[in-house]
Amino acid sequence: MGIRMGILMSICLSVLNLVVSGHFTFVGLALNILISSLVSIGISFVVPVGKVSREVCEKRNLPPGTMKARLLESLISDLVYTPVMTLILVFFAYGMVMLQSGGRAQIPFLPMFLKSLIISLAAGYVLIFIFQPLFLRGLFKKHGIGQGAEQDDRVI
């Protein structure tokens, strides 16, 4: 699940941020997707976002699958993945601009990062809210989970 969501987020946020920056290139897109995919896959192995989301929803007495639970789960996933991915991608883009300009580019890092972060958080939230349940449903079908009470405890 983490790998699928990470790759989807990487592709969508890379395209979005490159288009918004006004410096879209296919090489830049490929590098952004590669870097952000590696980062998001790494995060998915280190941070148990699903477990954290479930525990937070349980503490707030939000039954799984409800709209409020999905909204909160999407927010948690977005806050775990998006800032890290955005920071690394903006740092990479900033470094490339500085390298190409010989260090003479007059681009402040913080405004560049904050603009990208705001856009990425909004887009990431929507992507997670829409696609996470679809990917989960697909994984459940693929592994036969949910088709019988005896299979509900299997791990994906």
Domain extents for the chain?
A: 2-135
pTM: 0.81
- Per-residue CA distances from 154 to 36, 47, 65 (Å): 30, 20, 18
Q: How far apart are CA 101 and CA 39, in angstroms?
A: 27
Q: How far apart are CA 142 and CA 6, in angstroms?
A: 19
pLDDT band at 114 (very low <50, low <70, confident <90, very high): very high
- Cα-trace Rg, the chain: 18
In this structure, the number of other CB atoms found within 10 A of the CB of residue 130 comes to 11
pLDDT in tens, 92-111: 888 888 888 898 888 899 99
49 has a pLDDT exceeding 60: yes
Q: 70 near 56, Cβ under 8 Å?
A: no
CA 107 to chain centre: 26
2 has a pLDDT exceeding 80: no
Q: 49 near 76, Cβ under 8 Å?
A: yes
List the structure tokens of 46.
């280190």
Per-residue pLDDT, averaged over 63-74, amounts to: 93
Q: How far apart are CA 57 and CA 63, in angstroms?
A: 7
